[in-house]
Amino acid sequence: MSFEAIYNIAQAEAEGKAAVAAAEQKAKALIAEAETEGKTAVEAAIAKAEDELKELRAKAGEKEKAEADKLADELKTKKAVLLAKAEAKLEKAASLVVERIVNN
């Protein structure tokens, strides 16, 4: 095998490694961005639910506070479910991003 062929192979391998490293770095950045956006969206939804709950409690009389507390418990449950779903989707999205970058 000629020196030029060996050089070309070595250069192609180096370029391939650099491309994989760049793809991994891009995937990590996209995952971090997706996680940040997901957490921000979940935090905004939680804050909105808590604000709505405060408004309901302020409007409610003593008799209706029990209902407000029940609603609070329901909202906490929904919050936990939404958070779990968001985390699952976030991991799935991150996997898809990595898979697409590596395959391209």
- pLDDT tens by residue, 49-79: 888 888 877 776 666 777 778 888 888 888 8
> Is 53:68 a contact under the CB 8 Å cutoff?
yes
pTM of the shown model: 0.51
> How much is the pLDDT for 64?
73
Greatest alpha-carbon pair distance for the chain in Å reads 91
> How much is the pLDDT for 60?
67
> How much is the pLDDT for 79?
84
CA distance 18 to 35: 26
> How much is the pLDDT for 46?
86
Q: SS3 of 79, please? A: helix
What confidence tens digit (pLDDT) does each residue in 33-53 have? 888 888 888 888 888 888 888
Of the candidates 81, 77, 53, which has an alpha carbon nearest to the alpha carbon of residue 67? 53
> How much is the pLDDT for 62?
62
